[in-house]
């Protein structure tokens, strides 16, 4: 399958899951937008989730890196992608738990282990940077973040400032261009 075919298939799956919405939306960082990608709608749709996991798995085939998902939104993505690849993963919490083990990183992570972070939507990129910093503090080597959609609102630049490559399955430009073609 070509990259263009995969891109169109992903856009169709997100659209079929009703995950791409238009109107006035407040974003988590406080800004507003005239469109919204509802991660919970595509992550809870088995067809869309499977397509995303397969696309991530294709991008990760050349590496043996452990995967990490950013809690809460990327947990279904990392779980299905890890199962597709047959490898373990960890979960990076926004902050350490105040109960149980008190861990910020859940799962087994060895010192010096190479990790690729999986994230749902990148807007400013701050949640991905926070996850990478937590993983690095725990001893991991992290220089790559994969996202389903890059909203192209500064995430790529912020991650680059932290020596992290942002790689997206779709960009806002691609997602919105597809709508204009309809």
Please name the CATH architecture into which domain 48-173 falls.
3-Layer(aba) Sandwich (3.40)
Q: Supply the pTM of this predicted model.
A: 0.93
Q: Is the omega angle on the peptide bond into residue 144 within 30 degrees of 0, that is, cis?
A: no
* Structure confidence by residue, pLDDT tens digits, 120-142: 999 999 999 999 999 999 999 99
Domain boundaries, the chain: 48-173
On whether 119 is known to bind a ligand per the annotation, the reply is yes
- pLDDT at residue 112 is higher than 80: yes
Query: What is the pLDDT, as a whole number, of residue 181?
Result: 63
Say which DSSP state 163 is in: T
On whether 144 is known to bind a ligand per the annotation, the reply is no
Token pair in block for residue 113? 């282990």
On whether 12 is known to bind a ligand per the annotation, the reply is no
* Structure confidence by residue, pLDDT tens digits, 81-92: 999 999 999 999
Rounded to the nearest integer, the mean pLDDT of the chain is: 94
100-123 mean pLDDT: 94
Residue matched to tokens 């696309």: 55
Residues facing 165 on adjacent strands: 144
On whether 97 is known to bind a ligand per the annotation, the reply is yes
Q: How far apart are CA 42 and CA 40, in angstroms?
A: 6
Q: In what order do the strands lie in the sheet with 66-70?
A: 105-106, 89-92, 66-70, 114-122, 141-150, 165-171
């Amino acid at each position: 399958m070509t990259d263009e075919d995969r891109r169109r298939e992903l856009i169709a799956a997100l659209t079929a899951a009703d995950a791409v919405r238009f109107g006035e939306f407040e974003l988590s960082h406080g800004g507003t937008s005239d469109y919204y990608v509802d991660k919970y709608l595509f992550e809870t749709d088995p067809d869309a989730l499977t397509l995303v996991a397969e696309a991530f798995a294709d991008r990760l085939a050349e590496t043996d890196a452990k995967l990490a998902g950013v809690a809460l939104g990327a947990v279904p993505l990392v779980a299905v992608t890890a199962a597709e690849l047959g490898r373990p993963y960890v979960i990076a919490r926004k902050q350490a738990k105040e109960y149980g083990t008190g861990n910020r990183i859940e799962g087994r992570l060895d010192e010096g282990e190479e990790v690729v972070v999986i994230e749902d939507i990148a807007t400013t990129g701050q949640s991905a940077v926070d996850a990478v910093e937590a993983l690095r503090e725990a001893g991991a080597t992290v220089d790559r973040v994969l996202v389903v959609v890059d909203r192209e609102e500064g995430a790529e630049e912020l991650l680059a400032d932290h020596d992290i490559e942002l790689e997206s399955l779709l960009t806002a430009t691609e997602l919105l261009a597809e709508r204009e073609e309809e």
